[in-house]
Amino acid sequence: MNVVNHFIPLGYAVYGIDHLGHGKSDGTRVYVKGFNDYIDTLSVYVDMVRKWQPGKPSFLLGHSMGALVSALFLLDHQAGLTGAILSGPSVKVPSNTSPITISMVKLLSTLLPKVRLLQLEAEGVSRDPAVVHAYVSDPLVHTRKTTARLTHEILKAMQRITAEASKITLPVLIVQGSADRLVNPDGARMLYSAVSSVDKTIEIYDGLYHEVFNEPEHGQVLDDVEAWLEFRLVLLRSPALR
């Protein structure tokens, strides 16, 4: 809610989507037949937002796995977007994941796609105990293990981003906590180096955990995002400054 509460009073229209199998969306929890199901749904949603806000600049913001979905979306659908903000992007296969592990996950994804494999550490979400409590208490947040199919699809999506991130050329802002215990900050650095955008920025916040928008210092993070957005909007209004 911090993002919404910050940007709505500034005159921004903010829209959010629950991915398939998450939040209020239909589908088996944390399960997807293929990662492109997320991409196709997001494509439809972005088109809807453009119809609701005709002629307005549009920025895509994705966090964690949502940043992976967003980055993959940008590979084929960045035209028409003004820019993208990727927070704590889960875009890099963990360095301790061996080829054997990847093969085993692939096998389980085929034979037992709904078997549960991995679970996130709730305490790694934020250094604010109230945020962690809200996270584990929210019935719309899935705090149990992720399915084998989704795990495999995430790994495949990460591999594609690593190989094809150079296709991304629009303005990009990446925000990342240096003490993130859920997503290795090296993924954010890798993505920043790989994208071909002339206009790209990365902000690594010292000591912050995974959800930088929900950390005690979220005000500074949101101010930085606001400044980044406002400058890009000034550039749109003043072509001579580009």
Note the pLDDT tens digit of each residue in 180-218: 999 999 999 999 999 999 999 999 999 999 999 999 999
pLDDT at 109 over 70: yes
The CATH class for the domain spanning 2-236 reads alpha beta
Angle at 61 between CA 58 and CA 67, to 5 degrees: 140
| Active-site residue, selected from the candidate residues 6, 22, 63, 64 | 64
Instruction: Give the residue-averaged pLDDT of 106-111.
Output: 92
Judge whether residue 242 has pLDDT over 80. Answer: no
Give residue 30's pLDDT: 87
Cβ–Cβ < 8 Å for 128, 215: yes
- Report whether pLDDT(231) > 60: yes
Q: Catalytic annotation on 63? A: no
What's the pLDDT score for residue 207?
98
Bridge partners, residue 173, by sequence: 85, 201
185 or 238: which leads in pLDDT = 185
Three-point CA angle 7, 11, 16, nearest 5°: 50
Active site residue 218: no
Percent of the chain with pLDDT over 90: 79
Mean pLDDT of 31-48: 94
If residue 61 lies in a helix (H) or strand (E), which one and from where to where?
A: strand 59-63
Q: Where are the beta strands (DSSP E) in 88-218?
A: 116-118, 146-147, 172-177, 200-205
Average pLDDT, the chain: 93
The shares of helix, strand and coil residues in the chain, as percent rounded to the nearest 5, are 50, 10, 40
Residue 106 burial class via C-beta count within 10 angstroms: exposed 0-12, middle 13-18, buried 19 and up: middle
pLDDT at 240 over 70: no
**Of 109-118, 130-139, 203-212, which one has max mean pLDDT?**
203-212
Rounded to whole angstroms, the Cα distance separating 17 from 6 reads 18
Buried b / exposed e over 180-211, threshold 16 CB at 10 Å, is: bebbbbebbebbbebbebeebebbbbeebbbb
Cβ–Cβ contacts within 10 Å for residue 171, how many? 20
For residue 5, what pLDDT is reported? 97
Q: Which of 22, 70, 180, 197 is catalytic?
A: 180
- 206 is annotated as an active-site residue: no
**Residues with Cβ < 8 Å from 47, sequence gap 6 or more?**
none
pLDDT of residue 119: 81
Single pTM value for the model: 0.94
Length of the chain: 242
List 63, 152, 210, 218, catalytic entry: 210
Percent of the chain with pLDDT over 70: 98
Summarised one tens digit per residue, pLDDT across range 47-96 is: 999 999 999 999 999 999 999 999 999 999 999 899 999 999 999 998 88
- Say what the pLDDT of residue 107 is: 93
